[in-house]
Structure formats: structure tokens, C-alpha cells
With several copies, the nearest count.
Chain A
């Protein structure tokens, strides 16, 4: 799995370098992000701008990450292509994650 990580001022920025966040990627994704959460990260900004397709197990992964972080955790997501954004809406997860258009907005939202 290709993922780029960067930590700035207590915010972890994750850029997923994959076209699909699906059942094939799910386990590796949970392991990798799970580690980063175990090491103390609680504010995450996901860049999904490379992702053309997400399935329900991909959505499930993001929920797992949120739960792993506990009550202090927050995830904002930016760069959603139309089919990816649709999946957040269909699963009603657009009410759980803050979806943003730009990295700037996502950074602002995760800190607010």
C-alpha cells in the first residue's frame, strides 16, 4: 500500500497513493493507520485525491480508524472525486467525517 504521512503541529496528514480503497487494500490500510494511531495521533487529515473508487469496506476502514482514536479523535477528508463522495453520502458517513474540498479547509476543520 502506498501512503504518504506527514505530522505537523499535532496533525497527521495522510495521502493515499492508490486508485482504489477497497477490500483488497482494507487490511493493510487498517494495520498501517492503526499503528500511527497507536503511537498517539488523534487528529488526521486524509487526502483521497488519488482515489477513483471506494467500496463499503474502504468506508468501514475509515470508521475503524475513528473508533480506534476514541473520543479525542477527529478525521477530516479532502479531495473526494464524485464516485467517492457519493459513497460517503450513500452510507451517510458524510455526517461522521468532515468532507472538504481543499487541504487548507481540511486542516482548518480538523483543528476547530
Chain B
């Protein structure tokens, strides 16, 4: 197993780094399409930490731990911001259900958790020691 840990200041300009590291670390284990999905999920998760857990503060820290083994990439993202309302976790698996013709009512956000869940094989959230932990797993050979 290969482990890498990255800690960034909670600034939007640091978010691309989180995806770039995943691609460096897991580049040999996944197809380009899968790597894009991993990048997408990580970016959405870290964006949420910055926007929701830290309410946009730029001087807090987010830690991203990558663990690559033969069969999977496991990523844990940790922030020390405010906790998540458990109701929100329903959004991970809820259908994005809106009327595409009703322009006035189109959603301008609320896609993040759905995208994270679609792009990864497993997504878990836990609150522990006053920290938020998001665990994201992508299998090298996806479960059928």
C-alpha cells in the first residue's frame, strides 16, 4: 500500500491540487475516465468543506489522505469545521428530479453530494473528535 497525506489551506485555489495529487498517485491503476471521476468527487467534497463546513474561511485546514492498494484507492478528507445535518446525506443517493423546461425553478446548486456518490464506489461520512471525515473509495475493478 502507498500512502500520501496532503494538508491544504481552505482556499478555492488549492482545490485543483487535490485532484492533481490523486491523478499522480493513482494514475497507473485507473483509466483516464475513472481518474476524472475520482478528481470530480474529490473536488466536490473539498469544495463542500470550504463552503459549508468552513463557511468560506480561507485560513482553515483540510487534510486529504490517499491510500492506494492493489484493489482500491481510498481517500479520507478531514476538516475541523461545523458538522453536517444528517438529513443532507439523503442527497447522496436522491434522484436529481427537476423539470428541465421550467427555467425559473432550475436548481443552481445542490448537485455536489449526488455527483460525489455517482463518481465513487463508496462514500461515507462520520463526525468524530469535532472533525468531519469523508471517506471515498474507488475500486480498481469496480464491484458489479
Say whether chain B's binding surface is mostly helix, strand, loop, or mixed. Answer: helix
* Chain B residues, CB < 8 A from A22: 12, 15-16, 43, 47
Question: A91 CA to B37 CA in the complex, in Å?
Answer: 14
What is the CA–CA distance of A2 and B112 in the complex, to the nearest angstrom? 25
Whether A101 is near chain B, meaning CB under 8 Å from some CB there, is no
Chain B residues touching A, range? 20 to 34
B49–chain A nearest beta-carbon distance, Å = 11
User: Does B108 contact A63, Cβ atoms closer than 8 Å?
Assistant: yes
Interface residues of chain A, those whose CB is within 8 Å of chain B, are 20, 22-24, 53, 55-57, 59-60, 63-64, 66-67, 70-71, 73, 82-83, 86-87, 90-93, 95-96
Which B residues contact A (CB, under 8 angstroms)?
A: 12-13, 15-16, 19, 33, 36-37, 39-40, 43-44, 47, 50-51, 96, 98, 100, 103-104, 106-109, 111-112, 114-115, 118-119
